[in-house]
Structure 1
């Protein structure tokens, strides 16, 4: 998150939206639905939310106190430019309220994440959203009033001792002067806060709770429901027929609902267009990157450079095809390990032991954070009915500690995901500990450094401690796959999102057919369908429908 936190295209009205997106913003894998009935996890494998609030009742009792913190912010309207002392007092009130609402929202978000069917948790999350919206309305004049201060007078403010801790906040506000509306216009824009998250909420409700995933019978005779955890497991099946069944069942479900997803996607892009036009940006991607001060050409150049190196990806994929002895390499073969041996499995206790060894190069202080996360139960470990899939870290509760959601599946990918998410957690822990609230968060542009570094430490540790040739080949395959999915797959997502928004900006409606065609064309382009590298089944054109990152405005 940029220093001037809570800004959505220059308007202090959707910090609420950002916090709700925190669960997605630092996720290592796609957030998938889990709809099958699953067993209950032991208490030690569930996160402990009492560090946020001792109980739901305590949360309910605290909500009015938190909401009352907004009144002093509202009283700042017309006061931001009065004097350095008045501005500092208003900033203090604004960030005090923001921090309190973030904690309130964090608790509700985690409750919904582990059980989306919990009506009480849904209501709590909605209540927190309304409080975020009220804070946005109360602070809607902040940027406008500061921008209106004459330059000479503003310089005296910038050098005032009382505003020293807000200097970067002010610099960012001034930097976005061309995209700042009047106080009256921002007031009107702030009323849209609760509308802004609608598409994301619809996406997650449909994906997490309502998709009817089918069952398939595997070669072994086992019948499994192809939910996301099952998809992640059985897409690595050594039997080609099983893999094809799994892919067809999983993506076939999304195909059945593609019109609904397309309508929702189109609505989300229309929202982005609204804020882009209102705040005078040239493109949706410029509007999304503006708050973080990332030039658009960084985004586009990244895509260009990754695409230029597609032959390297193709070389790897052809080598994988050769090693595995496949006549053709299909999209459903991409997740196969390089060896024909049964992949290693790891309990979560073993993953914790591996994590301890992996992070030793980072020192004792870093290791203490890991131990603290285990002792204080920061992690919700296993899949459960109604629980959002994939993995994420949420570090938005400044005065508490980060929380990590996982869907641990006893495989190497789960171990890697654990280290990845803990990298985010340690990053947030250190940042919250050493920075004032207004600077504690960090933009997505920098977020993945800590997480992917941990993944590479894991590669180094396992390659160095297990010299069995078959395991070494397995690990080399995992390292190459990690590079494929981190670099090429993420760039592919960025390319698709950019093109979809550009199509909409040119006046196109993003129908299911248009989204399918755009995605499929890019899929073939990146994976060398015409070059004979990977055969792409047209069914996989619908893959766009289950990627949640697209609802976080150019996240990649």
Structure 2
């Protein structure tokens, strides 16, 4: 276990990145100047700090507090009062520094070309790193206190029970905590671990050369990542194939560079696993949330067992596209032409509010007023960060939501998704002490995906035209492909490459291509003639940033299956389902994530949530086939 302070900051930053990267494509029409956008469509960051000067003053006031906390070194076991005072001061420090980071990062996201705010963002990141290094003594010193002593302290000082979950987790992982000196070394080494991803990010997004292609319309297109994201769903099959082939050639040309970066990243994971004495990199990664490794393995096994269901979806896609052979380059294409569902701001807002009404007035009324109280930054503008995210780390204020809304179906779905995150943060912050308010990444996507399901149900109920319903149903099914099957495909590959390095096998580009190709062929039924995949596409692993995040992506799939089960119970009016769900959203990290989900009736250690997800997928496919006529 890394030292507490530095680890929490790393998790916070990584979560923010993933909400944007995994779920949403880049916006390509951000041409308006931010000053020309009505303030009612922009978030109000003065709720955090009234000015940049106020932010700077607060930042300067925090570092002496770090030194004050360091003065407690060697004293944490003195008595209950000393321990409680230290933990409260540490909690208050992190609470304020999280607020500082939120302000700086969101100001920087308003205009990524603004050097002043980028500098502020870097400054607070550096302060977090310094604080983490100085406080590396905390975990070893706390772990050295006998559990019996902590139990006695909690009786003497009942307010210490706020930290009961923290101590339970600490003692559970006690054997993996190293000495003060060793923890400091690992904290410093953590900075080095960021290098492979940073190199990947800069090279693939800024310096890597991409080709210029000519589409069937005569349009010349510089095929960088943003253009690939947009044009991989081109209506013209030949254009789609061209986009795929030329884009992946670019990665094939640099596959050895990407292989070395990824190999270095995995070696860093192996270093941490070996230093702490875990049995595997997988165990090292997921043990912090007390997730049994069996959950990971079970997900992969269940997906592979249900590949025929996925192949049924691919055959429906083939039928809708009207092609003789479904190609991998066809998988992002819409099978329903001529349907353009538009939702302006007011319509989108009303849909999200109305979709969440099954969760009760205490939920949807907060969503409704959030639009009027400066929570949301709605529209794209010059220099604004692409994608979308929710930031709920300002404990004493309210969550914020960044959008790049384009008045379309994806936009309103993204809005519902991000408000799932926002309301999870809002309810956890409202009902938990700061120490227990930050929910686990393992459950982070549950609330967002439940909201998507509620929205889909509402829009389907309001849509009667055949092609529009087909389009909506296929959008829902595409979500099963991209979130459940594709993320598990990534998880299986990530497990295999870690196991290879753990066993001393080098990861050359050719080895990685072969591993990825084997999984890709199996998932998409290449050998059975379900979907044809060119050998070139085996280099897709080089494009995926999530392989640098150490067993993160499986949680998208597990959250998805949990949300299907929860959404069904809520929409079916199962007695107590809504109350249990709201309690779950209000629980933060007061219990382990597996236990919190069990209290809602969802047991992620069993196959039941997965079975329900497959039942739902088959239901939607049945509906599509009814419309098409079997």
> What is the TM-score of this pair, normalised by structure 1?
0.91
Cα distance in 2 between the residues matched to 1:302 and 1:174: 28
| 2:432 counterpart of 1:464 | no
Deviations 1:36-57 (A, max 9, x none): 9844352544443333333434
Give the CA deviation at 1:395: 1.7
Deviations 1:478-504 (A, max 9, x none): 121111222111111111111121122
Matches within 5 A, 1:359-438: 359-383=356-380, 387-438=384-435
Matches within 5 A, 1:485-504: 485-504=482-501
Cα distance in 2 between the residues matched to 1:190 and 1:106: 23
Cα distance in 2 between the residues matched to 1:245 and 1:151: 63
Look up the match of 1:483.
Answer: 480
Look up the match of 1:24.
Answer: 17
| 2:322 counterpart of 1:329 | no
Look up the match of 1:84.
Answer: 80
Cα distance in 1 between the residues matched to 2:487 and 2:288: 21
Instruction: Report which stretch shifted further, 12-21 or 270-279.
Output: 12-21
Give the CA deviation at 1:70: 0.9
Give the aligned length.
Answer: 549
Alpha-carbon contact 1:346-1:412 (below 8 Å) kept: yes
| 2:543 counterpart of 1:546 | yes
Cα distance in 2 between the residues matched to 1:352 and 1:65: 40
Look up the match of 1:15.
Answer: 8
Give the CA deviation at 1:173: 0.6
Change (3 A) 1:180 1:286: same
Change (3 A) 1:37 1:459: closer
| 2:94 counterpart of 1:101 | no
Q: Secondary structure at the match of 2:289?
A: coil
Cα distance in 1 between the residues matched to 2:97 and 2:272: 24
Deviations 1:93-129 (A, max 9, x none): 1111111111122223334445444433333222212
Instruction: Report which stretch shifted further, 401-410 or 172-181.
Output: 401-410
Deviations 1:332-384 (A, max 9, x none): 11122232323323344432232122222222232233233322443344555
Match of 2:517 among 494, 512, 520: 520
Instruction: Report which stretch shifted further, 246-255 or 131-140.
Output: 246-255
Cα distance in 2 between the residues matched to 1:521 and 1:46: 47
Change (3 A) 1:316 1:436: same
Instruction: Report which stretch shifted further, 81-90 or 375-384.
Output: 375-384
Match of 1:294 among 281, 291, 294: 291
Alpha-carbon contact 2:352-2:416 (below 8 Å) kept: yes
Look up the match of 1:3.
Answer: none
Change (3 A) 1:37 1:320: closer
Match of 1:144 among 140, 146, 168: 140
Change (3 A) 1:28 1:470: farther
Look up the match of 2:265.
Answer: 268
Give the CA deviation at 1:182: 1.8
Give the CA deviation at 1:71: 1.7
Give the CA deviation at 1:404: 2.6
Change (3 A) 1:248 1:389: farther
Change (3 A) 1:250 1:172: same
Matches within 5 A, 1:49-448: 49-160=45-156, 161-383=158-380, 387-448=384-445
Change (3 A) 1:32 1:358: closer
Instruction: Report which stretch shifted further, 127-136 or 246-255.
Output: 246-255
Change (3 A) 1:284 1:406: farther
Change (3 A) 1:43 1:169: same
Alpha-carbon contact 1:208-1:387 (below 8 Å) kept: no
- State the structure with bigger RCO (CA 8 A, min sep 6), 1 or 2: 1
Q: Secondary structure at the match of 2:258?
A: helix
Instruction: Report which stretch shifted further, 321-330 or 332-341.
Output: 332-341
Cα distance in 2 between the residues matched to 1:184 and 1:59: 33
Give the CA deviation at 1:69: 2.0
Q: Secondary structure at the match of 1:375?
A: coil
Alpha-carbon contact 2:339-2:467 (below 8 Å) kept: no
Alpha-carbon contact 2:354-2:364 (below 8 Å) kept: no
Change (3 A) 1:453 1:530: same
Change (3 A) 1:410 1:209: farther
Change (3 A) 1:32 1:388: farther
Change (3 A) 1:386 1:220: same
Alpha-carbon contact 1:99-1:397 (below 8 Å) kept: yes
Cα distance in 2 between the residues matched to 1:286 and 1:267: 19
Change (3 A) 1:224 1:371: farther
Instruction: Report which stretch shifted further, 231-240 or 112-121.
Output: 112-121
Alpha-carbon contact 1:33-1:389 (below 8 Å) kept: yes
Change (3 A) 1:266 1:122: farther
Change (3 A) 1:417 1:206: farther
Give the CA deviation at 1:136: 1.5
Cα distance in 2 between the residues matched to 1:232 and 1:335: 9
Give the CA deviation at 1:193: 4.1
Give the CA deviation at 1:391: 2.8
Change (3 A) 1:550 1:376: farther
Alpha-carbon contact 1:85-1:162 (below 8 Å) kept: no
